[in-house]
A and B are shown apart, each in its own frame.
Chain A
Amino acid sequence: MPRLRTVVAVAGVTGAAGAVVRRALRRRVQGSPLWPLPALEEPVSGRPRSRVLRLAVTARDTVADGVVLLRLEGRELPRWEPGAHLDVVLPSGAVRQYSLCGDPADTGAYTIAVRLVDGGRGGSRELHEQVLEGAELEVRGPRNRFPLVAAPGYVFVAGGIGVTPILPMLRSLPEGTPWRLLYGGRSRASMPFLDEVERLGGSGRVTVAAEDESGLPDLDALLADLPAGTAVYCCGPEGLMAAVAERAPGVRLERFAPGAAAGGDGAFEVELRRSGRTLTVEAGQSVLAAVRAELPDTVYSCAQGFCGTCQQRVLEGEVDHRDELLTDGERGDSMLICVSRARGDRIVLDM
């Protein structure tokens, strides 16, 4: 019966081939769950941007007069780059920003340093008095609006607690990069991380200017005749930052202080470049409301800064971002006009 034999042989061969194909397919799918689809090189999903982290305060040390260092532990924390800060939700519900000053490679904990400010808005007092070891803190972030850019050389100016975002930058600079740091403060005892900064600087790179010893720092000497391309970073009191900005117009600043910068709901001007209009956003009014009065077709949805529908490109002006959604990259050139406002008195939108 040659026919039966042929059928059996063909069935055997197809069965074996089927098993081989199945096994090969299974192996492929194991390595790449949606084979044959490729993967996106920089995946977007699974990295929620506004995720609230509840972290345990596992260490609380006084590192200088009036400065406590808090270690906040969690698991698999999002990574960060030097210059980044956290939004910390205080027990009262108020939100304050603190620069990360620990090790960026440590995904098990974040470290922040907080100076007690007399007569401030009360955030630092709350942290100093109510947040003890063992407490739980809610944080969001990290975010970075003070990133370290590649440059042939660096000059850093830190005033007091303003050293916190700069410290991880110093640690991360490649060996041999020319940099200088001017670190000013009221007195040596009130200046955190002084030892480490001096150790990092070795000989001659760090100038410490304690007001009670040597008076105010000499910015002119530091900032005169900088080699082209030198990146200047400054974080500290408003007066110091203004003085540096006067002498080094391209300086990168990190502001945490309230005032005109954050929290204010004052009026400012918005230019809509593409439609050639300029309008005033009144105090307490949102940019969205002002723009919709002129351009009623402007899209938006939640009006609370979480859906992202009203995102618009920013051409000029500094933005006080108040949403929880945009990434740092998106914040560089766009804003959610339903909640965010101008930091200065004018912004230009591409609409």
Chain B
Amino acid sequence: MSHKQAVVPQGDDAERVPLAARKVSFSWEGTPLHWVPGDPFSTHTINVLHLLLPAGERWFVHVYRQVLPHIRDERLRADVIGFIGQEAMHSQAHDEVLPHLREQGLDPTPYTAQVDWLFEKLLGDRTLPPGRARHWWLMERVAIIAAIEHYTAFLGNWVLNADELDRRGADPTMLDLLRWHGAEEVEHRSVAFELFLHVDGGYRRRVRTWATAFGALLFLWQRGTRFFMANDPTLVDARASFKEFYLRGRRGTLPATGEIVKSVPRYLSRAYHPSQEGSTAQALAYLASSPAARAADQAAGGGKGAA
């Protein structure tokens, strides 16, 4: 409960918008294997998203469906429901990239099958007695999601501003997927944290789950980049190294190492609120111009409304 927190950080109301999923679809036929031209390392480092998000965001939805009955605030409830719809769509959109990679000779299944195990089994619903143990595990997962969402918002904000990718001629469809997704992550960046504050909010839990999430992300990401580099059919003896990552961060085709380091104390600060990160206005401006999001809006406007 939020009484464990001396001061509950508040979001900025101007940054709050009603959330709804956009039914986007992307066609991958024209996207080359190295969609950041001439830069397989940046391409594959970003491609790791496609390995993690289908299973990860499906898991978010799974956990949040269970937490809905614990929400006592109507506005937050509406936000969480919108969040669920958006995450479900993200998961599907990234999932559709995987067959495209396979068709280009880079089969992601060995990696994704293990990510599937991580989210479905290790982080799934364990056989726990109803009551405290089960509630503890649910709260732990809600807190892990809040920590992960800190980084998805960070990455979303990064990709919306990654002009270097445009300058280098990155594939427009892939950029649209990443920026549509990034913009929705920025748009709903406060939901996971506010939900965590609402149902638990303990500071020790926040630190503990941050450490878990951050450590897991580093582990998964470096293994993912190495996996892609080692199995890319067009590369011979390619290696992934931290130096490569650092250099591309300075160049702007990947997030800068310094920025990632600086994001850590921000999340652990007691005054943290996600609305301090990124800009809703920028996210909405991108969504208003995104080819995929516009097509989804038109289809929704022209089609029959349900419910």
Interface residues of B in 78-136 (CB under 8 A from A): 81-82, 84-85, 88-89, 92, 95-96, 98-99, 102-103, 108-118, 120-122
Whether A58 sits at the interface, judged by CB under 8 Å, is no
Do B113 and A299 touch across chains, with their CB atoms under 8 A apart? no
Complex Cα distance, B85 from A306, in Å, reads 8
Interface string of A46-65 (1 = CB under 8 A from B): 11111110100000000000
Complex Cα distance, B26 from A40, in Å, reads 27
Do A34 and B120 touch across chains, with their CB atoms under 8 A apart? no
- Report which of B85, B109, B303 forms a contact with A43, defined as CB distance below 8 A: B109
Do B89 and A299 touch across chains, with their CB atoms under 8 A apart? no
Complex Cα distance, B96 from A51, in Å, reads 7
Whether B273 sits at the interface, judged by CB under 8 Å, is no
Contacts of B103 in A (CB 8 A): 75-76
Complex Cα distance, B100 from A48, in Å, reads 11
Q: Within the complex, what minimum Cβ distance (angstroms) separates B123 from chain A? A: 11
Whether B281 sits at the interface, judged by CB under 8 Å, is no
Contact stretch, chosen from B34-42, B53-61, B162-170, B175-183: B53-61
Whether A185 sits at the interface, judged by CB under 8 Å, is no
Whether B227 sits at the interface, judged by CB under 8 Å, is yes
Interface string of A64-98 (1 = CB under 8 A from B): 00000000000110000000000000000000000
Contacts of B122 in A (CB 8 A): 37
Do B85 and A37 touch across chains, with their CB atoms under 8 A apart? no
Do A40 and B114 touch across chains, with their CB atoms under 8 A apart? yes
Number of A-B contacts (CB under 8 A): 137
Complex Cα distance, B25 from A51, in Å, reads 9
Whether B46 sits at the interface, judged by CB under 8 Å, is no
Do A51 and B99 touch across chains, with their CB atoms under 8 A apart? yes
Whether A229 sits at the interface, judged by CB under 8 Å, is no
Do A40 and B306 touch across chains, with their CB atoms under 8 A apart? no
Known: A39-B116, A46-B108. A52 touches B88 (CB 8 A): no
Q: Within the complex, what minimum Cβ distance (angstroms) separates A323 from chain B? A: 11
Known: A32-B110, A45-B116, A48-B95. A305 touches B223 (CB 8 A): no
Interface string of B219-256 (1 = CB under 8 A from A): 01001101100100000000000000000000000000
Do A301 and B306 touch across chains, with their CB atoms under 8 A apart? no
Whether A300 sits at the interface, judged by CB under 8 Å, is yes
Do A299 and B81 touch across chains, with their CB atoms under 8 A apart? yes
Interface residues of B in 56-84 (CB under 8 A from A): 58, 61, 65, 68-69, 81-82, 84
Complex Cα distance, B228 from A34, in Å, reads 12
Whether B271 sits at the interface, judged by CB under 8 Å, is no
Q: Within the complex, what minimum Cβ distance (angstroms) separates A315 from chain B? A: 20
Contacts of B118 in A (CB 8 A): 34, 37
Main secondary structure of the interface of B (DSSP, over half): helix
Complex Cα distance, B118 from A286, in Å, reads 36
Contacts of B121 in A (CB 8 A): 40
Known: A45-B98, A304-B300. A299 touches B68 (CB 8 A): yes
- Chain B contact patch, size range: 35 or more
Main secondary structure of the interface of A (DSSP, over half): loop
Whether B13 sits at the interface, judged by CB under 8 Å, is no
Complex Cα distance, B121 from A224, in Å, reads 50
Contacts of A288 in B (CB 8 A): 306-307
Complex Cα distance, B234 from A329, in Å, reads 38
Do A50 and B92 touch across chains, with their CB atoms under 8 A apart? yes
Do A301 and B84 touch across chains, with their CB atoms under 8 A apart? yes
Contacts of A45 in B (CB 8 A): 51, 54-55, 95, 98, 108, 112-113, 115-116
> Taking each of B69, B111, B113, which has the highest tally of chain A beta carbons within 10 Å of its own beta carbon?
B113
Interface string of A297-328 (1 = CB under 8 A from B): 10111111111110000000000000001000
| Nearest chain B residue, comparing its CB with the CB of A39 | B113
Complex Cα distance, B262 from A138, in Å, reads 47
Do A37 and B114 touch across chains, with their CB atoms under 8 A apart? yes
Q: Within the complex, what minimum Cβ distance (angstroms) separates A295 from chain B? A: 12
Complex Cα distance, B306 from A288, in Å, reads 9
Complex Cα distance, B306 from A307, in Å, reads 13
Given contacts A45-B95, A306-B23, 14 further A-B contacts (CB under 8 A): A33-B111, A34-B114, A37-B118, A38-B114, A46-B99, A46-B108, A54-B29, A286-B307, A299-B81, A299-B84, A300-B81, A301-B84, A303-B307, A309-B85
Where the two chains meet, the residues of A that have a C-beta atom closer than 8 Å to any C-beta of B are: 29-30, 32-34, 37-40, 43-52, 54, 75-76, 286, 288-289, 292, 297, 299-309, 325, 338-339
6 pairs of residues in contact across A and B, judged by CB atoms under 8 Å = A34-B114, A39-B116, A45-B115, A54-B29, A309-B84, A338-B307
